[in-house]
Structure 1
């Protein structure tokens, strides 16, 4: 192993370990909280859609001003505050359940407030990484972090489903609260002092938000990536809002079996993380941004074909292949954005992209709930999986289609505008 590998970078190891633990807890939570709503609290399709919307609403409501905040302050304290806040909020779920006062409204409120803290953490985290490891090691750093996320996507749902069956979904939520607490403690072990943010010259919050959006709009390839990702996230959130109902009611699976299905489907994401670097090198990182979604997205159409019994494997297959493509896409997409964006704008650009690409998710949750109530859960999956197959079109119409490598641009403290590719 090379001595310049991030494996030997003490501070990156703390960030990586913290993210590994918190992502594990996140995927446990993403399994047990919907199970809690669907099985214990007997939520309807519309209520499941509302819960999904609550868990992503903050990206739409505070995404842009969060980018301004992250560019004005040191990023690690923001990440610490977010982790400890999420731990405290999620602790209220088992406490309320043990006291027999847990309601769907409580669950939705916790989901919304956790989403606020997640917005703060995610924007700060993606903006913090380049200053921690340096731009030449961004691909390695993002690959390692994505590997942990994908491993958590495999292990977390299985553990969450098993715990929900053994001790109840509410008690299993305690695992997620503890994971955020541990992640925050690991962040405290980072030794390197974070540089003071550059002065913003007294520019107002609205002007700074517009500056981040302007960068995304002017950089043609980044604009296409953002539009494609937003369309994909909209469709995927509709799918996720109905996923637990489809597994528990249409496919008649127990909580433990639901966890197993989600864990097996997460293997695709893990394989994607392990092969993302090689895949990008073989195809070309710029080409991988459009080619992977083009090939992978249509496979989701096998998901609604699944039936109780052995045909459940079709659901696993469709989810696993989609997870593979999403993971490879995320690694090259985030690395592209971090590579071309000036450091002084990175927080606002990350927030602008998140505002657009994640801001559609509460809409997807609501749409999933409405469609599920109107045409049924399985029909809703047919609609959303068909839509997923078309989400790569903006990428095919962008300049990325003619590129193999990322463009060479001047970044960080230089004032040159981005290349208009």
Structure 2
């Protein structure tokens, strides 16, 4: 069956369990957009952080992913994945609530900000690893692309409204108080997860030690040609895009002289590209193939970041240029994520989802702190604009991994390579 002949995946709108999960993740995603803007703004505006200190903050959010190798093996041995998701949501809500409380008492410090970044990042890792197995209990294989598209669509919507709302809340209430909204979103997600009935199969009897499971997960990722290529691709693109991620808010605030509200509007308008990408990804993959669509996304995602160095002019022009760059980049990341995520789920054995996700995220997400730290160093030594050019140009090289692998020949999830 060719990509053109492949029938569309079944609709999930009538599935109450998936719909509840989808709503919870949508609420949480909107809260995340506020914290992503508010955390660096706390460091920049309240604590006068340097580029290196801001990059350390970004790095700490992603550092816990290095624990994914061991945590993924542990998650595979748990029967009740839903409980892990609820625990992760509640933990992140409690950690974030500490910031507005400290701010009200005038006690907020850079050390606390670092701890919040680290602990909330750890909660995110636990949630992501548990979600892998929970997802396949809710969604049939034939609907993986459709379900990922819907979740990505919500994420894109959050990038549209979230930054604008977040920027307004930061200006009206201050950044620490605005983070309260994200904490509430995690509580809402936990409550909705409790309402989802799901039958979770017990894990198979343990055949080896935890260390053996870790080796098994890492070996699976490195041996499988599709998993290996996807890992090399996403790790490369994450390294370079996080050079930009560590510097972009700082660049927009200090060099472009944009207010938090203007930054939020630019990011929100730019996220329209992600909305289009999430909606377009299933259709494009059916038209030209899953692998080709993913490769287009891998190029379109990082390439526009190099153009941020050219932003100049009056405030309205700066906001418009930043929004346009974000729009194209957001479209690319959705074309990449929707298709590669579906592919990863399709090729992973059911009894190895946690440790595969743990091994994969330990490398793929574990590179993000390094990218952020390199971004801080490049921003300090070369300047913010040259560092952003390096991020955009370097990120495009990630597509070479897919070009040299079976991924470029995969048209649907029914192909023999999957």
The TM tier, using the shorter chain, reads: over 0.9
The 8 Å contact of residues 297 and 335 in structure 2, kept in 1 or not, is answered as yes
* Structure-1 separation of matches of 2:64 and 2:358: 12
Alignment correspondent of 1:28: 34
Query: Counterpart of 1:187 in 2: which secondary structure?
Result: helix
Residue number among 374, 377, 396 corresponding to 2:381 in the alignment: 374
Q: Which moved more, 1:276-285 or 1:49-58?
A: 276-285
Q: Which moved more, 1:334-343 or 1:215-224?
A: 215-224
* Structure-2 separation of matches of 1:49 and 1:161: 20
Alignment correspondent of 2:344: 337
1:389 lines up with 2:396 in the alignment? yes
* Structure-1 separation of matches of 2:410 and 2:260: 46
1:327 lines up with 2:301 in the alignment? no
Mind listing any 5+ residue stretches in structure 2 that lack a counterpart? 1-7
1:283 lines up with 2:293 in the alignment? no
1:160 lines up with 2:170 in the alignment? no
- Which whole-Å deviations, capped at 9, do the CAs of 1:223-277 have from their partners, x for residues lacking one? 1111110011011111011011111111110111011111111111111111111
Q: Which moved more, 1:65-74 or 1:171-180?
A: 65-74
Residue number among 54, 66, 73 corresponding to 1:68 in the alignment: 73
Q: 1:308: how far off? A: 4.3
* Structure-2 separation of matches of 1:296 and 1:261: 17
* Structure-2 separation of matches of 1:210 and 1:155: 42
1:227 lines up with 2:232 in the alignment? yes
* Structure-1 separation of matches of 2:399 and 2:321: 23
Mind listing any 5+ residue stretches in structure 1 that lack a counterpart? 410-418
1:269 lines up with 2:281 in the alignment? no
Matches within 5 A, 1:345-360: 345-360=352-367
* Structure-1 separation of matches of 2:87 and 2:344: 25
Residue number among 248, 255, 258 corresponding to 1:253 in the alignment: 258
- Which whole-Å deviations, capped at 9, do the CAs of 1:279-325 have from their partners, x for residues lacking one? 11111112222233235543332221112421443322222111111
Q: Which moved more, 1:290-299 or 1:192-201?
A: 290-299
1:399 lines up with 2:406 in the alignment? yes
* Structure-2 separation of matches of 1:308 and 1:183: 42
The 8 Å contact of residues 300 and 388 in structure 1, kept in 2 or not, is answered as no
Q: 1:127: how far off? A: 2.3
Query: Counterpart of 2:391 in 1: which secondary structure?
Result: helix
1:181 lines up with 2:187 in the alignment? yes
* Structure-2 separation of matches of 1:298 and 1:192: 41
Alignment correspondent of 1:218: 223
Alignment correspondent of 2:98: 92
Query: Counterpart of 1:55 in 2: which secondary structure?
Result: helix
Counterparts in 2 of 1:269 and 1:396: CA distance versus 1, 3 Å = same
Alignment correspondent of 1:105: 111
Alignment correspondent of 1:294: 299
The 8 Å contact of residues 85 and 127 in structure 2, kept in 1 or not, is answered as yes
Q: 1:221: how far off? A: 2.1
Query: Counterpart of 1:332 in 2: which secondary structure?
Result: helix
Q: 1:98: how far off? A: 0.6
Counterparts in 2 of 1:194 and 1:121: CA distance versus 1, 3 Å = same
Alignment correspondent of 2:198: 192
Q: 1:192: how far off? A: 2.3
Q: 1:394: how far off? A: 1.2
* Structure-1 separation of matches of 2:313 and 2:91: 40
* Structure-2 separation of matches of 1:396 and 1:3: 26
Alignment correspondent of 1:119: 125
Q: Give the superposed CA RMSD.
A: 1.7
- Which whole-Å deviations, capped at 9, do the CAs of 1:111-166 have from their partners, x for residues lacking one? 00000010000111122111122222212211111111111111111111110011
* Structure-1 separation of matches of 2:301 and 2:371: 21
Matches within 5 A, 1:43-54: 43-54=49-60
Alignment correspondent of 2:3: none
Alignment correspondent of 1:412: none
Q: 1:193: how far off? A: 3.1
Q: 1:386: how far off? A: 1.6
